[in-house]
Chain A
Amino acid sequence: MRIAIRVSAVLAALFSLATAAEAQSANIQALATVYQPISFTSTRNLDFGNVFPGVAKTIGIAAATSGQFQMGGQASGNVNLTFTLPTNLVFGANNLPIGTWTGCTSPTNTTAGCTAFTPSGSATGSAFSALGALWVFVGATVNPGAAQAAGNYTGTVTLTAAYF
Chain B
Amino acid sequence: MRPCLLLQLLLLIATATPAAGQSTVTGIRDLNFGVVIRGVQTSVPPSDPIRSGRFYVRHILNRQVQLRFTLPTTLARVAGGGNLPISFAATDAIAQGTAGSSVPVTFNPNNTQTFTLVSSADFYVNLGGRVSPAAGQATGAYRGTVTLTCTFF
Interface residues of A (CB under 8 A from B): 3, 7, 10-11, 14-15, 17-37, 74, 77, 163-164
Contact = CB atoms under 8 A, between A and B. Distances in A.
A33 to B, nearest CB: 5
| Interface residues of B, dominant DSSP | strand
B39 A29 contact: no
A37 B42 CA distance: 13
B72 interface: yes
B150 A19 contact: no
Chain B: number of interface residues, binned into ranges = 35 or more
B86 interface: yes
Contacts of A74: 139
B117 interface: no
Contacts of A28: 27-31, 53-55, 127, 145-146, 148
A23 B151 contact: yes
A31 B40 CA distance: 16
B38 A26 contact: no
Given A21-B151, A25-B147, A27-B145, A32 B36 contact: yes
B101 interface: no
Given A24-B24, A26-B148, A32-B141, 12 more contacts: A21-B66, A25-B149, A26-B27, A27-B146, A28-B27, A28-B29, A29-B146, A30-B129, A30-B146, A32-B143, A33-B34, A33-B141
Interface of B: 2, 6, 9-10, 13-14, 16-18, 23-40, 42, 53-55, 66, 72, 75, 84, 86, 127, 129, 131, 133, 137-153
Nearest to A35: B35
B53 A34 contact: no
B146 A25 contact: no
Contact of A18 (B13, B127, B137, B148): B13
B29 A31 contact: no
B116 to A, nearest CB: 14
Given A18-B16, A32-B34, A23 B140 contact: no
Closest 10 CB pairs of A and B: A32-B33, A28-B27, A18-B16, A26-B27, A14-B13, A29-B30, A25-B149, A30-B31, A163-B35, A23-B151
Contacts of B133: 32, 34
Contact of B147 (A7, A14, A27): A27
B32 A31 contact: yes
A73 to B, nearest CB: 10
Contacts of B37: 34-37, 163
A33 B36 contact: yes
